[in-house]
Chain A
Amino acid sequence: AQKVTQAQTEISVVEKEDVTLDCVYETRDTTYYLFWYKQPPSGELVFLIRRNSFDEQNEISGRYSWNFQKSTSSFNFTITASQVVDSAVYFCALSEAYNQGGKLIFGQGTELSVKP
């Protein structure tokens, strides 16, 4: 069974703080894909990153970084020097390559509030 758990429902930080959003996943497949999406109050789901199960390299994109660890089935997301514009709900998602039509399994989301 596939499952994505984002244990942090809400996080509140002050601007310029670093913040890490946790994501733990469950899957029986050896080939799978992990995603992070950002959903600001406007509603659009913004694609941030896709990572396949064979690539455990961490990735950095500006203030964003992702730590993928297969040993702990985690795919955590860190925002460095947070800004008010980072306030949004962040979803982690899992897709198994050839199962169930590539259905995206979403976590429940983490609502991040960055205060000035």
Chain B
Amino acid sequence: DTEVTQTPKHLVMGMTNKKSLKCEQHMGHRAMYWYKQKAKKPPELMFVYSYEKLSINESVPSRFSPECPNSSLLNLHLHALQPEDSALYLCASSQEGLAGVSSRFFGPGTRLTVL
């Protein structure tokens, strides 16, 4: 199994809603990532989990809350989002920890629209 899966594919939510994005990989990778991508822009790193511990938070607002229940799963909890948070949210994983030696494999993303 060489893929990263993400659910849902599309999500529309109001600014008062609470929702969660889910990511799963079964490649035995020990690092998992959340990226945000706006249209016509490259992905921007949000969070990095290494060995199930939060290693990097790129100064992301607290309305985004990551969670890593186990080595295969990564969640992103959303609460009180703003319309400017509408974007494609990509999950990725890589074999090793934080070192750049490992190739990062991305999921198909969740297209989020905040009304």
Looking at the complex, which of B41-49, B62-70, B71-79 is the stretch in contact with chain A?
A: B41-49
Whole-angstrom distance from the CB of B5 to the nearest CB of chain A?
A: 11
CB contact under 8 A between A44 and B42, given known A98-B99, A101-B48, A101-B56 = no
Q: How many A residues face the partner with a CB closer than 8 A?
A: 26
Q: How many B residues face the partner with a CB closer than 8 A?
A: 28
How far apart sit A107 and B92, CA to CA, in the bound complex (Å)?
18
How far apart sit A85 and B31, CA to CA, in the bound complex (Å)?
31
Decide: B99 and A47 in contact? CB cutoff 8 A: no
Decide: A102 and B108 in contact? CB cutoff 8 A: no
Decide: A102 and B100 in contact? CB cutoff 8 A: yes
How far apart sit A98 and B108, CA to CA, in the bound complex (Å)?
28
A97 sits at the interface (CB 8 A): yes
- For A47, the chain B residues whose CB sits under 8 A away are 103-106
How far apart sit A52 and B103, CA to CA, in the bound complex (Å)?
11
- For B48, the chain A residues whose CB sits under 8 A away are 101
How far apart sit A96 and B101, CA to CA, in the bound complex (Å)?
8
Decide: B101 and A97 in contact? CB cutoff 8 A: yes
How far apart sit A44 and B2, CA to CA, in the bound complex (Å)?
14
Write 10 A-B pairs (CB below 8 A) sorted by A numbering. Answer: A35-B103, A43-B88, A43-B90, A91-B43, A99-B100, A101-B50, A102-B31, A102-B97, A102-B101, A102-B102
Task: Please list the 3 inter-chain residue pairs (A to B) with the smallest Cβ-Cβ separation, ordered nearest first.
Answer: A95-B100, A102-B100, A106-B42
Task: Report which A residues bind B (CB closer than 8 A).
Answer: 32-33, 35, 37, 42-47, 50, 52, 91, 95-99, 101-104, 106-109
